[in-house]
Amino acid sequence: MKTLWAPWRAEYIYCAGGQNSASKRHCLFCNLLKAKDDKENLILYRGRRAFVVMNRFPYNNGHVMVAPVRHTATIETLSAAESAELFALVQRSLAVLRRALRPQGFNVGANLGRVAGAGVIGHAHVHIVPRWLGDVNFMPLLAETKVISEHLTETYDRLRRQFRSSKSE
């Protein structure tokens, strides 16, 4: 058997207990919002009621998440204003990703609750994953490894410029 070392995954595995907690104190998104360094925390845009953050453990290059500022586990508990801003940021994120990365398609969705596959249980969020023809190859199937074609900080810089230059909501 061959061994493929991926020590950077330890951060995800060891932090999973806290990130998977439904409590606000241990919430990944709430803790990111408290932090001051947006680049270090991969926050691309902060709105009044919602924000956009890159996924530190992406399924594909440019994988972002849009979440409400308020800690809530489900989308149906959002106020009309929160819902409007959240989905306006989903639309804006799609436009930014199209301009910056030129994907051929997207997966957009929310995993609400542990059994639905949510990695952050108590804070609802929407995933946006850019897709390209041929972006799925043998690595995930044979080596259980995903190949990301660009470093997170390079993608962050490209997307952040686009968010700054795109129309604010």
Radius of gyration of the chain (CA): 16
Q: What is the per-residue pLDDT for 14?
A: 44
Q: What is the per-residue pLDDT for 10?
A: 55
Q: Does some domain include residue 1?
A: no
Q: Does some domain include residue 4?
A: no
Q: Report helix, strand or coil for 8.
A: coil
Q: Give per-residue pLDDT as tens, 12-35.
A: 444 444 444 456 667 889 999 999
CATH number of the domain bearing residue 115: 3.30.428.10
Q: Does some domain include residue 141?
A: yes
**How far is the CA of 39 from the CAs of 17, 44, 81, in angstroms?**
24, 8, 27
Q: What is the per-residue pLDDT for 35?
A: 93
**How far is the CA of 70 from the CAs of 3, 50, 63, in angstroms?**
42, 8, 22
The conformation of residue 39, written as its DSSP 8-state character, comes to T
Lowest-confidence region among 18-22, 74-78, 99-103, 119-123: 18-22
In this prediction, residue 103 has a pLDDT band, given cuts at 50, 70 and 90, of very high
Q: Does some domain include residue 3?
A: no
Q: What is the per-residue pLDDT for 142?
A: 46
Q: Does some domain include residue 95?
A: yes
Mean pLDDT within 63-67 = 96
Give catalytic residues, as residue numbers: 125
Q: What is the per-residue pLDDT for 141?
A: 47
User: How many other CB atoms are there within 10 angstroms of residue 4's CB atom?
Assistant: 8
Q: What is the per-residue pLDDT for 112?
A: 85
Domain extent, residue 126, equals 10-165
The conformation of residue 72, written as its DSSP 8-state character, comes to -
Structural domain count of the chain: 1
CA distance 30 to 63: 19
